[in-house]
Amino acid sequence: MRCVLRRTLISSVLLISILSLLSKILGFLRESVIAYYFGTSHESDIFFLVFGIYNYLTAAIGMSLGISFLPLFVKYCAEKGLEDTLRITWRFVCQLFIFSMPICVLVYVFSDSLASLIAPTYTEDSLCIVSKYIKMFSSVTFFTVVSFVLFDVLNGKRQYGVRQLTGMLFSVISIIFLVLFHPYWGIDTLIYSAITASLLQFIILIAVIFHKRRYMRFCRVCSFNGMGEIYAAILPVMLGTGIWYLRNIIDRVISSTLESGAVSALNYSGTLFSLVNTLIIASIVTVFYTELSTRYASKDYAGVRKILNTGVVTLCLLLCPVTVFCVVCSSDIITFLLQRGEFDMVSVSLTSTAFAMYLIGTPFYALRDLLTRYCYTVSDKKTPVRNSVIAVLINIPLSYYLSKCWGIGGITLASAIVSIGLTVILFVNINRRTGFLNFRGIWESVGKIGMASLVTIGLVYILKVSLLATCPVFLRLVLAGMFCLLSYGVLLYVLRCREFFVFLKNIRLKKLL
């Protein structure tokens, strides 16, 4: 039985990972098409500003509702059966509709005031467009929020992967709309495609979950019997889940006060960084997190210590050359991936600056993710939430200050700086609570990795601006990447980095740990 459960779990994780990767790739393809048609224009800024804030708000609220409802859904399925539980689910959906309608109406009525709040430096004509977009998105807010709840309902029924499939559907609809209707609707095509995708996603989820109409009968919409613990859990969960979304919303608002194209550049660079995160960071961290959970569950604390310390150094070892290459070659990467159509050299400059500053903190994003998951493994939920709140409170004024000094790059640099600080705080907190981290061994290895990375930055930069300056972009990227890996490996060999030799041995043995 345990082996069957383990195989089922592994299959589910693999399915979600593959679909998440495909969804991210399609999402980047969608952003590439948008960049082709609109570049980093003021009109694309307006769309990305409103759509970004709408996305973050609905995700924060919807995920909080879904996380709060899922435990009760699983509990009721075991106690009352699936049919009665689906009736309660439909009741919850109807109550959310009743609660959300007054809020949506208020957003619609006061859209002009909200437009002035999120885009204080825009002209009157631009504010009219922002207000129009707010009104249009307010009409589908309920459907988007409830879709997050329905995703968790499907997860509770062990029907995984639907969220990733609908994300792919959103990208496909956006691309089709842009290709067919861009000449007629312009930037409004993106609004219509987003609204269409939200409605279609909601309809599909309702049809899949409530395909038998009897679930919708006798659901007692006005009854709160058994619903109290759901509503009581929403606010605490929202504080923990939504805090990082708040930071992203503030970053969008700050970027709207900068030069034209800043909001669009922030969006394109964030999408590309998210793809890098999915391709590299998420997969590596997932392996170490699974091993940590397994060892801790079996009370193999020596194994937990070994995996945690190995994970920290391995992430630095693997991600530092990626960071070096992407930071030095950020302009070439953006040029190769996005420079076509309306995405000109000005757009390349803005986006590559934001992308490079994001990437400075890449190893620390990964370490923060690993250490946070370790906290969840040992049932320490307070530390990640407390540190996240502190990080966001620091990030907001830092983003504002650095944006005045370095523009769009200052906003993403603030995120990198805060991630570095948060990672250091997590290190101290975890070592104080468990003593599992071997600081001396980690700093010795990380010091050698850092030294090799700094020297590699200089070597790759010199190669790029001298010998490769006249090469085509793709060839320059390939040669710079090969030289980066070769230089990095040679330097680690010269510095006698123990983990580097262990990693090479594990590669020969076809294993990571």
Q: Which two tokens stand for residue 267?
A: 């969006």
Could you report the per-residue pLDDT of 475-506, keeping only the tens digit for each? 999 999 999 999 999 999 998 888 888 777 76
Largest Cα separation within the chain, whole Å, is 75
How far does Cα 99 stand from its chain's mean position? 28
What's residue 7's pLDDT?
Answer: 46
| Residue ranges in the chain modelled with pLDDT below 50 | 1-9
What's residue 288's pLDDT?
Answer: 75
What's residue 19's pLDDT?
Answer: 72
Q: Which two tokens stand for residue 338?
A: 């996005």
What's residue 84's pLDDT?
Answer: 77
What's residue 272's pLDDT?
Answer: 87
Tally of CA atoms within 13 A in the half-sphere of 414 that contains its CB? 28
Could you report the per-residue pLDDT of 311-354, keeping only the tens digit for each? 888 888 888 998 999 999 999 999 999 999 899 999 999 999 99
Q: Residue 363 to residues 235, 323, 427, 504, 506: CA-CA distances in angstroms?
A: 32, 8, 14, 20, 21
Q: Which two tokens stand for residue 416?
A: 């990198």
What's residue 513's pLDDT?
Answer: 53
CA distance 113 to 135: 12
- What are the residues whose beta carbons fall under 8 Å from the beta carbon of 178, sequence distance 6 or more? 33, 34, 37, 189, 190, 193
What's residue 3's pLDDT?
Answer: 47
3-state secondary structure of 502: helix
Q: Which two tokens stand for residue 473?
A: 């972009």
What's residue 435's pLDDT?
Answer: 67
b/e string for 126-149 if b means 16 or more Cβ within 10 A?
bbebbbbbbbbbbebbbbbbbbbb
Q: Residue 322 to residues 315, 374, 507: CA-CA distances in angstroms?
A: 11, 24, 18
CA dihedral sign of residues 413, 416, 420, 421 = positive
Provide the whole-model pTM. Answer: 0.85
CA distance 5 to 212: 29
CA distance 85 to 219: 10
Summary mean pLDDT of the chain: 83
The amino acid present at 85, given as its one-letter code, is: T
